[in-house]
Structure 1
Amino acid sequence: MPLHVPPAPAPALRSVLAALSSPTAVRDARTPALQAAPGPLNAELPLPLHALDLVAPAGEAAAAGRSPRTRLTGWRFLIRSGDRAVAAADAMLTPDGWAFSRFFEGPYLTATERALRQTESLTTPYQPRLLWVAELYLLALWLHEDTRDDAAEGALGPADILVPLAPAPPGIAAHRPHRVADLLPVIGLRLGAAPPLLSAPA
């Protein structure tokens, strides 16, 4: 698989591993699959979670030749029991540094795994990230073409690929790879009827 998975900040990984080793944190997570997993549990495949900052609508920014800005909001880890992902864990940046945020399961967990499997047929190397468009409640696997970029930074490149995860908003096909240059105008058109800002996806 031509993915160059970036290393997560060590404190972010430590915070997730500490939560995994805490029976109280796992019990309070309310994720049945995580609670029932026989163990051992491992935190794998860290993905930086970026939010799309829409200072201007995405379509307008693309038309003006500008890349919409993204900002790092956290790191997401797949929690595996054996060869199966049973949950995901998020770490977020606080004023005191990286801290464990939550465990969760749900449709985006299986959708993330499916999208990652889709990359096995690619020949171009990419740096995998996640992109969250809060206004549309859209989460996508972001395949960033410049694998040397700092995973915490970097703008959307026109040759980058976005794979919307299911469930995707109406009018945007889930699990269909899109060039950023092709999908951003669609996002821009959809923003006129966007709902209010929502919390990060589970």
Structure 2
Amino acid sequence: MINCENCHGPDDIPVIKSEDKTGTKTITTDRSQSLCLRCHLSLPARPGTLSTFPQPQIVLKKHMKGKGNLACFKCHNPHHPDLKPPEPVKTPADSNVNGTSTTTKDEKKTVSAKGRSIYNDKCLVCHGAKGDGKTEVAENLDPKPPDFARLKIGLSQLVGFIANGKGEQMPAYKDELSGEEIKEAAGYVEGFKK
């Protein structure tokens, strides 16, 4: 059972007790990692155990890439059970929503509400609402996510990257998304191209 005391401690022994100049309780990156991993490393499916870990993009070594100054709670709201990505906003890709199609270099791209939903759920936190890779999470990645507006690859390559991942930063989604969902997400990303 998870309750307030798991992280905050009993009233008389606060685990998170430092305050910034405004009186807001704060926690450092190092402290958040030791606090969060105290429980999360005790799970049967640990980061680093790819075959059993339900979300391979959350393998600890991938989280440790970059500058090392990103606290767990920058992406994960400890007061909500789900990943908390930034709020989705309308983007240039949304102009093609609801089945309107356009053609670029003989490749048809159809952006659907489903593609946008998948993007918002799986891609937004690193690639951003504008597809430019300018997010707080991306600041700590090396290499940085590409700016989709300047991407010089075709739809079939996008499908491949989403399905199989790319390097150590971009997770593979072939075991998490259907082939159709991967195509929907790739179609949405295509909509960012200028």
| TM-score of the superposed pair, with normalisation by structure 1 | 0.26
Higher relative contact order (CA 8 A, sep 6+): 1
- The structure with more radius of gyration: 2
More helix by share: 2
